[in-house]
Structures are given as structure tokens and as C-alpha cells.
Structure 1
């Protein structure tokens, strides 16, 4: 489905698709089902016109991530976001936060670029000797200034991330006492870890998860781990309950899952902030009932 709608589609792709459909009646039936999922989630035709329109200049306010769903699918599905999510804003030492469903981009006085995720807050203090940031809630991405020699430190949930000199890009998320540090590139050391671990030094592409029960170092798909910066959520064989919990972080319209379907598995990439489209797409694919009441949508058998 994604390949057929791609702008670089070739005749070879179309020929391969026709051969695949002819090879087994189940293939054509599966494609028809995915087409229904695509259409229920909003389709692509209206979005093509929007993408072809000249981009508007950024508004003089904090940017809110577009809620428009361009392409939805599960399994090998793909979601493309229409438009950008704002501009860099100059900022000094202060408190910066976002509301539910909002993403904000800013540049600190030292040149460090920050992306704040939904419902997040950081406290920044820059002085002559150090640069300190406290992530009090939510998630933030930091791209540190390469030419500033002062130490750069981020505190989150009692964990301290010491960024090595030079340009470094890292993503830090705090969920109560759980802290996840994803190092995209550069180097960093995480101190004050649970489970008797004094510190862990991360290399580019590694992810550290610190929870009260212990510390783990993983090698995630960095593109998936940082997809939120483009307004997307990526699920790979996650439970429906976990996917719903992540989608609920971005919307005032809350999703609920009946216990009998909470363990169903979900894979795909979705535009965050449009829980109604997510519910329609997942409901169609997994044959679920979607019942709305006020600002709540419930998924059940």
C-alpha cells in the first residue's frame, strides 16, 4: 500500500503488485482490507492538495504539531506528516513547558537546540562555568552546541546525564521514576543509576533505560525512538494497551481499551494527536467496536 502511493512509484512496482495479487486470492483480499483501513483513516487525496500548496510562514507563537493524518497503516504501514512543526525560538535561562498535544522547539542562549514533547517541562540554568537542565516531566531532545566548552548536564528523575564535549544529540524521557536516555550521536555518561550501578557511558545509537528495578542498555532503532520529533508514534508488535497509552499522551480525546482486547498486538506508524483516526484505523484492522462518549473513545470486541 505504501509503495503504490509513494511519489517514486515505478511501473516495476505496479507489475510486481499485480503478480502478487494474482499469486493467491488471499493477497487480493488482504489488500482490499488494507485499502479500507487507509480510507477510514482519512485517505490521501485531500492531503495531496494540502502538500502541493505553498507553505505558510510560521506564526509568532509556540508551534503546535499538526494533527493531520496523511497515511495510516499497520504491519508494514507508514504515516507521513503534512507540514512542519514550527521554528526555533531564541531563549535564555527560564522554565519552558508544553501543553498536552503541543510540541515546542527553541534554542538556548548557548546555541543548544531543544525539542519539547507533549506535556513536558524543562528548567534551564546557564552560568559562566556550567550548563544545567532539569527535565521535570515528559520528554526532550537536546542537540548541544559544538563550540561551547562548558559542561552540559541534564537531570531527570534523580539521574544525571553528562554530555561529552562537542556536538551531541540525545533524547531523554521521564515517566515518573523511569528515565530513558537515547543517544543519537556523540557521547554521554549517565550517573546515579539504580541497582548499584554507578555510571554507564553510552555510544551513539545506544539507549539506557533506568527504572527502580534496574538499568538496561539497548541498541534500539534510532529512527523509531526519535519519531516523536516528527509528530509520529511507532509501534512494533506492542500491545494495544501500550499503544493507546502512548497515543493518549498527545490528545484531550482519550482512548480506553476493554480488558479482553488490551493484549492484541499493534504494529505501524501513526500521526499523534488524532486519536479518533487511530481508533478508526485500529478498529477496522482488528475488527473492534469503537464507542464514543464525550471526550472518550472505547475499543472493545
Structure 2
């Protein structure tokens, strides 16, 4: 990408996110709809819009909240079908059609998961006595056999206090990484870039790749990251009382990028949160977040980081730079 095209592409991306937000809000006006049709008729605009839709779909940001908040169109079935077909023919993902497109990943996850969360943190005990806590927007599939116990982390992060059984190894699979219990409590935290971080609260675990090869043994306070390429690297040690602090509703963000802080808080909101500006050049933030009051936390973050929040119908919040 050349330097001259970068600002134009950034503006187009912001415009695409704006239209996604307006279509998802459920109260887009006819003049706005006409403006959208003109905008998306441009081949480049259409390509960027489709890219942003796929991005939000892959991150599972809005599929779970969009469909229930769409307005009920009190028209005949034929009129609804006719409207959806007309919009589809014009390349438009209007509210109802957009919901059907985006809810797919969430539906797939629920069909495969044994336990999942929405915007709450949930604690439960597995059949073998292992205590588990799932963070908001997380899901696991449980595969227990006669000689094995495997947990597949489908989404989000989780903490396990394992009931040790040397005759039935306990493993957590996340992406291409495998964490095996050697009698312990530990946290698995998938990162947005595909890396998988394992942190031990007590006892010992072995972190390896599914394909075999490299493995690392960790003890209390130690952590390692699976890089996505099969490489596993040790990270700096942490205090054991900070491991999975989100279980108690308190989350410490230390020198994290602003966009990451926003996405972290958004996980605990009951409504959709859309970032419609470029935030990468803002200074990193350090904050203690009460995940039980995510809207207050988002407001505090905005006040201290030159952001402006726009509250839309359906509990949707748009995040933009101020000034």
C-alpha cells in the first residue's frame, strides 16, 4: 500500500464501519438507505464493506446481539421477503439479512459447545470435579473418555482448577496448543492475534503443540505463549494472586493499546460496541476495570483517552476519537 492511498483506505474503512453500525441499529432512515446504496455502488467501497463484515463475523462481535434487537416489521410475509430480496439484489445487507449473515458463527459455537457465556462470567464444576470459570464471551466443548479428559476451548478465556487423576490426563486444547495438567490451577487466554497464553496459579502444567515437538513445563506464577507457528516461549513471571483476576470482576489492564482496552471492556457489555476510528496511535492505557459495570468503565476510558461515545438505540455504542 502506498503512502498516498493509506489515508483514503482508512477513510473508506471508517465509512464502512459507519454503515455497518447504522444498518445494525435498526432505525436507519430512507434517506440514509439511499445514501448507503450510492456509497456501496462503488466497487472499492463494496469490497471494503464486505471485508469489514467478515472481520466482525470472525471476531463474533455482533452476531449474538444483533438479531434480538432488530425492529419487528409489521408487514405481510410477502412484503418482508420482497424487501429482503430487493435489498440483496442491490448488494445491501439490511437489518434482517445482516442478522442472518452474522449470527452464523455464534450458532455454530452453540451447537458444538457444552458450556458457554454471553456477557457474564460463569463458574461451574465438570463431571470429574474440576472447577471451571469461563470469562464473558467464552465457550468450551467437553470430551471425556475412559482414559482421557480433553477440553476444547472454542472461544474466550477460561480458568481451571483440575481434579488430578494420573490415570486420566486432563488436557485443554486451544488453537494448536495443548496444556496438560500435572495437578494444578491455571488460566488459558487466547489473544486477538491468535497466540495462546497459559498462566499457572498453582501446581504444574506442560504446554506443547498438537503436532508434538516443543514443550515447556510451568509452575506457579509462570506463563508461556504459544505463538501460532508451533513455537512456545516463556514470558515474565506474575504474582499468583493476579492470575485470572477477572473471576472476581476486577480486571487490570497494564499498558495496553486503547483499541484493545475498548474491545476488552466491550466483551462484558450487553450491547454492541463498534469502533469507527483509527486508535492505534493513541498512548497505551493502564486501568483497573470493574467488569460488572462495563458501561461505567467504558465511559471512564473515553474520558481519559480522547474518545467520544455515541449511544444508539438497541444499547449500541459507537466509539470515535474526540476533536
Q: State the TM-score bracket (shorter-chain normalisation).
A: 0.5 to 0.7
2:271 aligned with 1:271, yes or no?
A: no
Of residues 179, 186, 192 in structure 2, which corresponds to 1:170? 186
2:268 aligned with 1:235, yes or no?
A: no
Counterpart Cα distance in 2 of 1:274 and 1:174: 23
Q: CA deviation at 1:256?
A: 2.2
Contact map agreement 1:141 1:170 (CA 8 A) in 2 = yes
Of residues 164, 184, 190 in structure 1, which corresponds to 2:201? 184
Q: Looking at secondary structure, tell me which structure has more strand per residue.
A: 1
Contact map agreement 2:177 2:208 (CA 8 A) in 1 = yes
User: 1:60-101 deviations in whole A, cap 9, x for unaligned?
Assistant: xxxxxxxxxxxxxxxxxxxxxxxxxxxxxxxxxx94332331
Q: How does 1:141-180 map to 2 (within 5 A)?
A: 141-146=159-164, 149-164=167-182, 166=183, 168-175=184-191, 177-180=194-197
2:241 aligned with 1:220, yes or no?
A: no
Superposition RMSD on alpha carbons, in Å?
2.7
Counterpart Cα distance in 2 of 1:249 and 1:232: 14
Q: CA deviation at 1:186?
A: 0.6
2:156 aligned counterpart, secondary structure: strand
Q: CA deviation at 1:236?
A: 1.4
Contact map agreement 1:98 1:117 (CA 8 A) in 2 = no
Structure 1: gaps spanning 5 or more residues: 1-93
Counterpart Cα distance in 1 of 2:278 and 2:223: 31
Contact map agreement 2:258 2:279 (CA 8 A) in 1 = no
2:265 aligned with 1:247, yes or no?
A: yes
Q: How does 1:114-133 map to 2 (within 5 A)?
A: 114-133=132-151
Structure 2: gaps spanning 5 or more residues: 1-111
Counterpart Cα distance in 2 of 1:240 and 1:262: 9
Counterpart Cα distance in 2 of 1:102 and 1:284: 25
Q: CA deviation at 1:298?
A: 1.6
Could you say if the C-alpha distance between residues 257 and 185 of structure 1 is closer, same or farther in structure 2, counting changes exceeding 3 Å?
A: farther
Structure ranking higher on relative contact order (CA contacts 8 Å, 6+ apart)? 1
Counterpart Cα distance in 2 of 1:202 and 1:193: 17
Q: CA deviation at 1:287?
A: 5.1
Contact map agreement 1:154 1:162 (CA 8 A) in 2 = yes
Q: CA deviation at 1:144?
A: 0.9
**How many residues matched?**
205
Alignment match, 1:210 = 226
2:317 aligned with 1:296, yes or no?
A: yes
Of residues 158, 162, 174 in structure 2, which corresponds to 1:140? 158
Q: CA deviation at 1:184?
A: 0.9
2:114 aligned counterpart, secondary structure: strand
Contact map agreement 2:121 2:134 (CA 8 A) in 1 = yes
1:259 aligned counterpart, secondary structure: coil
The 10-residue stretch of structure 1 (121-130 or 241-250) with the greater mean CA deviation from structure 2: 121-130
